[in-house]
Amino acid sequence: MTTSSSPFRPYAPSSNSRTGLEIHLASRPSGLPTPDDFRLAEVPVPDPAPGQVLVRNLYMSLDPGMVLLTAEHPGVPAPRYELGEVLYGDAVGEVVASAEPSLAEGDLVAHRLGWREYAVAGAEAFRKVDRTAYPNPSLHFGFGLVAYAGLLRVAELKPGDTVFVSSAAGAIGGLAGQIARLMGAARVIGSAGSAEKVRYLTERLGFDAAFDHHEGPVLDRLREAAPDGIDVYFDNVGGEQLRAAIEVMNPHGRIAVCGALARQSTGRPDEGPGDLLTVVGKRLTLRGFTVRDHMDLAAEFGELFRDRLREGSLVYDETVIDGLRNAPRALIDLVRGAYTGKTVVRLGG
Position 54 pLDDT exceeds 90: yes
Q: What is the pLDDT of residue 270?
A: 61
> What percent of the chain is predicted at pLDDT more than 90?
78
Are 124 and 102 contacting, i.e. CB atoms less than 8 angstroms apart? no
Q: What is the pLDDT of residue 71?
A: 84
Position 187 pLDDT exceeds 70: yes
Average pLDDT over residues 228-251: 96
Q: For the segment 105-134, what is each residue's pLDDT rounded down to a tens digit? A: 999 999 999 999 999 999 999 999 999 988
- Could you give the CA distance from residue 340 to residue 174 in angstroms, rounded to a whole number? 9
Ordered alpha helix ranges (H), the chain: 66-69, 143-149, 171-182, 195-199, 218-225, 239-248, 261-264, 276-281, 298-311, 327-335
* Start-to-end Cα distance in the chain: 32
Q: What is the pLDDT of residue 7?
A: 35
Q: For the segment 100-112, what is each residue's pLDDT rounded down to a tens digit? A: 999 999 999 999 9
Higher pLDDT, 165 or 68: 165
- Could you give the CA distance from residue 233 to residue 60 in angstroms, rounded to a whole number? 29
Are 238 and 256 contacting, i.e. CB atoms less than 8 angstroms apart? no
Average pLDDT over residues 312-331: 95
pLDDT band at 28 (very low <50, low <70, confident <90, very high): very high
Q: What is the pLDDT of residue 75?
A: 63
Q: Domains along the chain?
A: 19-141+317-346 (3.90.180.10), 143-292 (3.40.50.720)
Q: What is the pLDDT of residue 5?
A: 31
pLDDT band at 96 (very low <50, low <70, confident <90, very high): very high
Q: What is the pLDDT of residue 14?
A: 47
Lowest mean pLDDT among 76-85, 113-122, 173-182, 338-347: 76-85
- Select from 299, 304, 307, 345 the least CA-distant residue to 326: 345
pLDDT band at 271 (very low <50, low <70, confident <90, very high): low
